Each structure stands twice: as C-alpha cells, then as structure tokens.
Amino acid sequence: MPDMKKFYRENVVPAMKNSRGYGNVMQVPKIQKVVINSGIGTKFEKDTMKEAQEHLSAISGQTPVVTKSGKNISNFKLRKGMAVGVRVTLRGSKMYDFIDRLVHNYLPRVRDFRGISKKAFDKAGNYNLGIKDISIFTEIDLDKLKHPIGLNITIVTSAATDDEAFELLQRMGMPFATN
C-alpha cells in the first residue's frame, strides 16, 4: 500500500469525518484520478511528440496516449486527426504514488515556490495545476531535454464543493499559498 494511501485512510478520513460531521466513512471525499496532460500544439518538430511521450512516460510510469484534434481550424493550420498532445490518467496506487512525489519531491523543486494557488478549483471540486517546465521532475534527464514542455495536472475528487476538495487536498499535504 502506498504511503499516501495509508496516510489518507489513517489520518485524513477520521479528521474530515470529525470536522465535517459525516455520518459514514463513505461520505468523506476521496481522490478518484489524476490526469496529466501536455499540449504540444501543431507547430513542432518531428521529434517533439516522441520526446514528450518519453518524458511523460518517465514521470507517470505509464505509456501516454496521443491526443488528436477533433476538428479543422484553419487559423491554426490544424486538421482533424492531427496529433496535438499527450495525456496519462493515473488511478489507484500509481495515483497515490504520484501525489506523494508531487507534494514531497516535485513542488519543493520549483524556483521561488510560495505555494500553489487556492483559486485553481473548478466548481465541481477538481483541482488544476499548471507546471511550466518539466525539469522539476527527478525522472527527467536534463541533458535529453531539447524542447520546453509544460504540463497540466488535474486532480479529480469526489467532493461536491470546492471547499471540501480544498480541505481534502490540504489535509493530504498540498502546499497551498497563504494569501
């Protein structure tokens, strides 16, 4: 069992049950999945997509899926079916391992880090985190990094409101900014 999952079961669930007054353990919100997405775009060199796949595979431990455009957009010189990015969905123990590494290894490596924004919740209890440069990940060999690649990390929770999701992520150890 991953350390973060054990921490969730032993510490977060009882604390949220007491603070929110849930009658049942099943009412306590939980993290359902983590989606890691990197939009490469259409103006890239041939090896950029392959490089993004390799890096995302190293970060997540899974083979990423290539996302393709859904329709033609002439202003962007985009045709239906063109590869525009890569994406990975993590669930179960891999999800908890990634969140543990994100909180304890990756986010502290960000330059001038003062915490993540409290405003990045959508109205359904999910959190979106943008990372401008993947060089903060320890699995990436900086010598092999040719193109700057950014990531969007979406943490999907079962929380009904943003307030519940904020408390869940805060108790899980996410370093939110104080202001």
Q: Give residue-wise pLDDT tens across range 23-49.
A: 889 999 999 999 999 888 766 667 778
Does a structural domain hold residue 22? Answer: no
- 150: Cβ–Cβ under 8 A, 6 or more apart, which residues? 38, 39, 130, 131, 132, 133, 134
Reduced to 3 states, what is the DSSP secondary structure of residue 120?
coil
Does a structural domain hold residue 13? Answer: no
CA 66 to CA 87: how far, in whole Å?
7
| Residue of higher predicted confidence among 34 and 1 | 34
Does a structural domain hold residue 133? Answer: yes
Q: What is the dihedral of CA 56, 59, 61, 63, to 10 degrees?
A: 0
Q: Report the candidate in 128, 124, 119 with the shortest Cα–Cα distance to residue 160.
A: 124
- What mean pLDDT value characterizes the chain? 86
| Residue 81 region by backbone torsions, left for phi larger than 0, else alpha for psi between -120 and 50, else beta | left
Does a structural domain hold residue 41? Answer: yes
Residue 179: its pLDDT value, please? Answer: 66
Average pLDDT for 2-26:
90
CA 162 to CA 126: how far, in whole Å?
7
How many domains is the chain partitioned into structurally?
1
Residue 1: its pLDDT value, please? Answer: 54
Does a structural domain hold residue 39? Answer: yes
Does a structural domain hold residue 6? Answer: no
Does a structural domain hold residue 23? Answer: no
CA 127 to CA 34: how far, in whole Å?
10
Q: Give me the CATH number covering residue 146.
A: 3.30.1440.10
pLDDT tens for each residue of 111-140:
888 888 889 999 888 999 998 888 888 888
Q: What residue numbers bound the domain in which 33 lies? A: 29-171
Does a structural domain hold residue 65? Answer: yes
